[in-house]
Amino acid sequence: MASDASAVPDDAFDNVTASPTSDIPVQITNAISVAACLAVVISYFFFRRKNPRLMQRTSLVLAVSMASVDLLLHAINLFGYSDLPDNFICSFFGGFLYAFPTLTSLFYSFCIALNTQLVFVWKRRPGPSKLKYYVGVPILLSLLICIPALGVGLYGYDASFDMCWYKTEGKTSHEVLLPYLFTFALWCLLTILYLILAAISITYAVFWKNSRLNHLANNLSKTLSDMPNPPSSPSAYAHTRTYDPAIFSQKSSESDTEHAAAVRSIPVQQPQIQQSQSQRRPMSVIPPRNETLSRRSLAMRALAFRLLGYITIPTLCILPGVIDDLISKAMPWAIAGIPGQLSTFFDSLNGLVGLFNAILYAMDPALLALYHQMWQDYQERKHDSNLELGTADQGGDGNVEVRTEAKKPRFAVPFSPGTSRHSHRTTSGSVVAGGIMIRVEVQADWDNDIDRLQDYLVGL
């Protein structure tokens, strides 16, 4: 009798049943995440066709790679909670195809955290050649962990939770816990621990070390750093304001030339912007350098806040389920004491990983700029179509004046007398009267806003 009693160890999983859980919330959250991940993948290739340079940034490529493996994970969750036969199908679909995308997604979060640390903490910007390692190494490492576990038969039917995961039937807690720890849980815990430490260091570097952040923004554009500050005295602008009597006499009519002497006697003063009653400064078309760096600092902080989301989501969504699994496999007798609602909540939270990552992807500064550009293009097309309809309605009137305006640039464009660059064009027969011609030299920026944004976000 004593030998028969000792035949069944106290830490065996036999006759241990978990509290009943509901699969409906889990299936709903995973279905939502499947749709979100599909939207991420489709939108990435849609935007990349129009802006390939901007969409090849490291964080965006890693976000899309993460969305791809999350898509596989949530699709398997929808399929894995159904009844599967206790054979290789259960081991492959319920075990391997859950562990592999979960580990790969965590390792992509690790790469995002590492790349963000290189930029914000260690002030290094990885080149494009490092991207292939960021994408390939997580997949390779996950395969090296999961394929041996599948080969030795660690995955299978979990009789305690009535699902396909790690095989527990006829095994003790040590026989299940150690393989589970070294083929899944330990990698998750180590990665999440690094993510927490990385989030703390990035938050400290971005939100508390302002001088370092300004130094980073200063290094983003050497052209702006080398640009001299605007002159502080109105006399410094004397060489940029020119009055040419010859041009005046050519462009004006004969009746206007008699007033040339009177016009030349009028002093031309530099426009001023009133700051206070006791202080005035000349108006400049070049923004002060500290204001530019302040805007860049704010942009960097917004980007860092988004990247921190990729780091904290695995901690909030994956870590509770891993801890629940560790407790159940280390202490089988405690399985029945775990409330079914708590297990359902953890599984549902794990099903929202793809949705949260998709939201962070949609908030990328580059995508926000593309959204704005698409909206502006839509408004321009709508405005042009309304103008065409209005012109067609008044097509019988020969005295209708047609006026076309060019798109207002973000920065002023340099112009001089005699050039053909105008902000509008009139087709009526009126003659433009002559007047004072002043040549103005201003600082122009011909770069596209999207290209400038790429320069700001290079390496991120």
Distance CA 299, CA 220 (A): 12
- Choose the weakest-confidence range: 44-48, 61-65, 205-209, 252-256: 252-256
- Choose the weakest-confidence range: 10-14, 38-42, 56-60, 160-164: 10-14
Domains of the chain: 7-223+290-375 (1.20.1070.10)
- Choose the weakest-confidence range: 99-103, 179-183, 231-235, 376-380: 231-235
Q: What's the pTM value of the predicted model, to 2 decimals?
A: 0.68
Span 249-272, pLDDT tens digits: 444 444 444 444 544 454 545 544
How long is the chain? 460
Span 367-385, pLDDT tens digits: 887 888 888 888 888 888 8
Distance of CA 13 to the CA centre of its chain: 45
- The answer to whether residues 156 and 164 touch, using CB atoms and an 8 Å cutoff, is yes
Tokens standing for residue 123: 């002030």
Q: Which of 3-7, 69-73, 126-130 has the highest mean pLDDT?
A: 69-73
Span 322-336, pLDDT tens digits: 998 998 888 888 777
Distance CA 237, CA 271 (A): 11
Sign of the torsion angle spanned by Cα atoms 192, 354, 60, 207: negative
pLDDT recorded at residue 80:
60
Per-residue pLDDT band at 219 (split at 50, 70, 90): low
Work out the number of other CB atoms within 10 angstroms of the CB of residue 39: 15
Question: Whole-number mean pLDDT of the chain?
Answer: 72
Q: Burial letters for 306-341: b for 16+ Cβ neighbours within 10 Å, e otherwise?
A: bbbbbbebbbebbbbbbebbbebbeebeebeebeee
Distance CA 325, CA 330 (A): 8
